[in-house]
Chains A and B, each alone.
Chain A
Amino acid sequence: MQRLRLRYAKRGRLRFTSHRDVSRAIERAVARAGVPMAYSSGFHPHPRISYAGASPTGAASEAEYVELGLAEQRDPEEVRRALDGVLPHGLDLVAVVDSAESLPGSLSDLLQASRWRVDLVGVDEAAAASAVERFLATESVEVERMTKKGLRTFDCRAAVVTMSAGSGSGLDLLLEHGTPAVRPDDVLTGLRELGGLPGESTALLTRLAQGPLDREAAEVGDPLAKRE
């Protein structure tokens, strides 16, 4: 079975798709494009598609990853073109590589951190900068979030590798994936509660990159990079 790794973007109004919406759209797209999928065995065979590190509903993304299992060998570029042609506008294929030729390890092992752009709506530059400063100066920032298992309290500070307030009211956020998963939303909660960011402020989230974490350089690598 050939495994292909796909990078796709979630743009425009399609940022409101949930993870389940996206997976249905991809399953139908591979069917329309005639990609020779490998199927799971059993009574209800499903095409072999594995998702890793899906972004939350409402967040735009330039770097979402998925792996397809194919029953027949195909040229990755050919698959990219075929799939991009049938995906809904706004779910755009960026790159396709053969897993055997890219970095070893599973996709979920490779997706260690994400770089986010956080566009704060209705917050001035100075307020954003001071909130970030106070947040970073604190060792642990406890926040609460309602999960399926009820209200949970956890630290959202440790997962923040770097964060800076750029021009305008945009934040650049490098967030490490871990357990419990800290989401950009949680960091925003922390910024509001600890940093004094206005409570009513809303934010537009965009994932710019996702991949292996180089902590020293504070950078996210390309998970589809060529195998050495």
Chain B
Amino acid sequence: MSVSAPESVFPRLEPHLLTVSKPIQYVGGELNSVQKPWDEAEVRWVLMYPDAYEVGLPNQGVQILYEVLNERPWILAERTYAVWPDMEEVLREQGIPQFTVDAHRPVGAFDLFGISFSTELGYTNMLNALDLAGIPIHAVDRDTHPLVIAGGHAAFNPEPIADFVDAAVLGDGEEVVLKISDVVREWKGEGSPGGRVEILRRLAASGTVYVPRFYDVEYDDSGAIASVVPNVPDAPERVRKHTLMDLDQWPYPRNPLVPLAETVHERFSVEIFRGCTRGCRFCQAGMITRPVRERSITTIGDMVENGIQKTGFEEVGLLSLSSADHTEIGDVATGLADRYEGSNVSLSLPSTRVDAFNITLANEFSRNGRRSGLTFAPEGGSERMRKVINKMVTEEDLIRTVAAAYSHGWRQVKLYFMCGLPTETDEDVLQIAELAKKVIATGREVSGRNDIRCTVSIGGFVPKPHTPFQWASQLDVETTDERLRQLRETVRADKRFGRAIGFRYHDGQPGIIEGLLSRGDRRVGRVIEAVWRDGGRFDGWSEHFSYDRWIASAASGLAGTGVDLDWYTLREREYDEVLPWDHLDSGLDKDWMWADWEDALAAARGEDIEVEDCRWTPCYDCGVCPEMGTEIQVGPTGQKLLPLSVV
């Protein structure tokens, strides 16, 4: 935490920029980015999305926090991303530290280093960034270095990175980053009494920041966790997640970043609601972001128009976990389609449920001429599997929906599935082929055409913390790959359909590693460190991911613990096992989750149990609202979008 303004590393970097790929990703200068004077800020954040710039820049979470923080005159926030190996080589050779893209300041000079983890596969990139920044990778070895704070969905079980982070924050970040800033400001104002331990103690005492070092973990003889106990008086027994209420009051991003470089999302996205209570048992996002909080139709309209004005993007995505579920989605679609008719602004609706989809909606979204493919996620191939995961989409629903789409001129439908769900058999997976064939046959029939396409996309299921499937065993790599092979063979074998059905899959190896990191405890940290030391980076990229390296590192890192990779991944847990994340409170009642897990197993045996959505049926006591003091916030508001006044 430096007092005087650190020098920009840009002059040292610049001569080497032409020797690396896509140098534009390292120079910053995005439209709507900000650079504030170092000396005028009292609290300084560096925010990282631990992946390449092209993936990290569009991340909404980082963009929102960047803006929320920089709006305060006393706070400064800059961004950094994972550098590619060619740039890493330059930095190490030249002795240039990990830097921010805004003012090219060394990351080590900031007070706080916030890292947003959407996925566990970014952990090695965090270690690399810390090391490049000159920050000791183990939290206990740090002195005046920045406080390293993890956030994002993966932070709901930060135990595998507990040794590397100083703190973790669960849930929505908008308010909590300001609270943390307040605490740090006060402490710095007093002259930073008590150093690092004291500021961490104050953050832990606030009850909303998890500081791993203040908790002792004991293991029993079987290798399972015996207890997790706070070791300082101020640390709460359980650390709670944050929930932002009234999203209309937080219409961010207001000034979306527009990069010069090409990124993975070339569009402006408006989050139309947060949370989902459909109750799909595999879905961590749907469990940890409850309750549903909608933005009103008028706020959505304002945010879309503001975003178009400020960015010049031609595509606007209406983002959420299940966008067609917004109470006024029809009016939103019609209102926006009316507004932008004849312009080159196109609208897209990612994440649409089969049962919430309707052709009127789809037509509104493609009124401006662009008719992209439709994507649905039945997730389970057989009716039985869909009951197990509580994704109550019937085959009739799906066939009716695709028939409507094909008869209205769509030619391409993409279907997402998972392989390795609890109680799944080969037969359940092969049902996917039957479903895809029916989709094609129906499409040909209703459209009278032969150029109907259906793409089946399938990946391995990874059980996640804070879900009813957190106790489930994960399917091993060999069986996963064998099921996927059989499915592909079955699809290809039928000459009538083989060519009309595309098949995309992710093999089982990365899934098992993701499984280890998802449900791991503190002992897994040694595995992550071993992988990074052996050169592991960018584990989310198939060309960089090395299964062999992870296997070898798991063997060495877990040696002597009595547990191994299979213990973390392939083992079903018992009711009374202490889970590594039990002291982290997502609001979900563990007994409700267990009952829901048992319901899943009952459904697998043929019992007819369905958990309905609490937005339109009575509360089923998942526990979140009373535990967190929150409530469902949905419309309808009854308002309509007005045409824009002529500029």
In the complex, B647 has a CB within 8 A of chain A: yes
A32/B311 in contact, CB under 8 A: yes
Residue contact A16 to B23, C-beta cutoff 8 Å: yes
Instruction: Give the shortest distance, in Å, between A184 (CB) and chain B (any CB).
Output: 13
Binds B, one of A21-29, A101-109, A171-179: A21-29
Picked from A22, A39, A47, A89, the residue with its CB within 8 Å of the CB of B29 is: A89
Interface size on A, residues (CB 8 A): 31
Cβ contact within 8 Å between A13 and B309: no
**Chain B contacts for A21, CB-based, 8 A:** 24, 260-262
The answer on a CB contact under 8 Å between B18 and A31 is: no
Contact of B262 among A24, A28, A34, A86 (CB under 8 A): A24
Q: Please report which residues of chain B, range 223-266, place their CB below 8 angstroms from some CB of chain A when the two chains form the complex.
A: 258, 260-262, 266
* A140 close to chain B: CB less than 8 A: no
The answer on a CB contact under 8 Å between B309 and A32 is yes
Cβ-based interface call for B314 (8 A): yes
B312 at the interface (CB under 8 A from A): yes
- For B29, the chain A residues whose CB sits under 8 A away are 12-14, 88-90
Q: Is the CB of B18 within 8 A of A13?
A: no
Contacts of B261 in A (CB 8 A): 21
Any chain A CB within 8 A of the CB of B634? no
Q: Decide: A88 and B23 in contact? CB cutoff 8 A.
A: no
* A17, A34, A39: the one within 8 Å of B260 (CB): A17
Q: In the docked arrangement, what's the CA distance between A88 and B35, Å?
A: 14
Residues of B within 8 A of A57 (CB): 18, 23-24
Closest to A31 in B: B312
How far apart sit A92 and B159, CA to CA, in the bound complex (Å)? 49
Residues 293-311 (chain B) with a chain A CB within 8 angstroms: 308-311
Task: Select which of B10, B15, B258, B369 is within 8 A of A13 by beta carbon.
Answer: B10
Chain A contacts with B in 72-105, Cβ cutoff 8 A: 86, 88-90
A47 to B266, CA, bound (A): 17
Against B, the Cβ 8 Å flags (1 = close, 0 = not) of A1-23 are 00000000000111011101110
Residue of B nearest to A34 (CB): B647
Closest chain B residue to A33, Cβ basis: B312
Q: Are A32 and B312 in contact (CB under 8 A)?
A: yes
Residue on B nearest A91 in the bound complex, by CB: B260
Asked if B417 CB lies within 8 Å of chain A CBs, one says no
Say whether A58 contacts B23, CB under 8 Å.
Answer: yes
Q: How far is the CA of A45 from the CA of B313 in the complex (A)?
A: 14
With contacts A28-B312, A45-B344 taken as known, whether A202 is within 8 angstroms of B15 at the C-beta atoms is yes
Contacts of B609 in A (CB 8 A): none
Q: Please determine whether B309 and A24 come into contact, CB atoms closer than 8 angstroms.
A: no
Give Cα A30 to B369, complex, Å. Answer: 21
Q: Which residues of chain A have C-beta atoms less than 8 A from B262's C-beta?
A: 20-21, 24
Per-residue 0/1 for B1-29: is the Cβ within 8 Å of any A Cβ (1 yes, 0 no)? 00000000010001101100011101111
Q: Are A121 and B15 in contact (CB under 8 A)?
A: yes
Count contacts on B: residues with CB < 8 A to the other chain.
Answer: 30
Chain B residues with CB under 8 Å of A227's CB are: none
In the bound assembly, the distance between CA atoms of A24 and B24 in angstroms comes to: 13
Contact indicator A39/B344 (Cβ below 8 Å)? yes
Residues in A with CB closer than 8 Å to B14 are 13
Known: A29-B312, A31-B312. A44 touches B23 (CB 8 A): no
Contacts A16-B24, A89-B29, A202-B15 hold; do A31 and B314 have CB atoms under 8 A apart? yes
Known contacts A17-B24, A58-B18: A32-B30 contact under CB 8 Å: no
Rounded to whole angstroms, the CA-CA distance of A12 and B30 in the bound complex is 13
Instruction: Please name all residues of chain A whose beta carbon is closer than 8 Å to the beta carbon of B31 when the two chains form the complex.
Output: 25, 28, 88
- The answer to whether the Cβ of B370 comes within 8 Å of any Cβ in the partner chain is yes
Q: How far apart sit A47 and B88, CA to CA, in the bound complex (Å)? A: 39
CA distance A88 to B313 in the complex (A): 14
Given contacts A24-B260, A45-B344, whether A16 and B27 have CB atoms under 8 Å apart is: yes
Q: Which residues of A contact B10 (CB under 8 A)?
A: 13
Q: What is the bound-complex CA distance between A89 and B260, given in angstroms?
A: 11
| B313 touches which of A28, A44, A47 (Cβ 8 Å) | A28
In B21-74, the 8 Å CB interface with A consists of 22-24, 26-31
Report the Cα distance A13→B104, complex, angstroms. Answer: 12
From A13, A18, A28, A44, give the contact of B311 (CB < 8 A). Answer: A28
State in angstroms the CA–CA spacing of A17 and B25 once bound together. 9
In the complex with contacts A28-B258, A89-B29, A202-B15, A18-B312 CB distance below 8 A = no
Q: Which residues of B contact A86 (CB under 8 A)?
A: 312
| A29 (CB) vs chain B CBs: closest residue | B312
Residues of chain B lying within 8 A (CB to CB) of residue A13: 10, 14, 27-29
Give a binary string over B538-563; 1 marks a CB under 8 Å from any A CB, 0 the rest.
Answer: 00000000000000000000000000
11 sampled A-B residue pairs with Cβ under 8 A:
A13-B10, A13-B14, A14-B27, A16-B17, A16-B23, A25-B31, A32-B309, A47-B344, A57-B18, A57-B24, A202-B15
Apart from A14-B29, A45-B369, 6 more pairs, CB < 8 Å: A24-B260, A43-B370, A58-B17, A88-B31, A121-B15, A202-B18
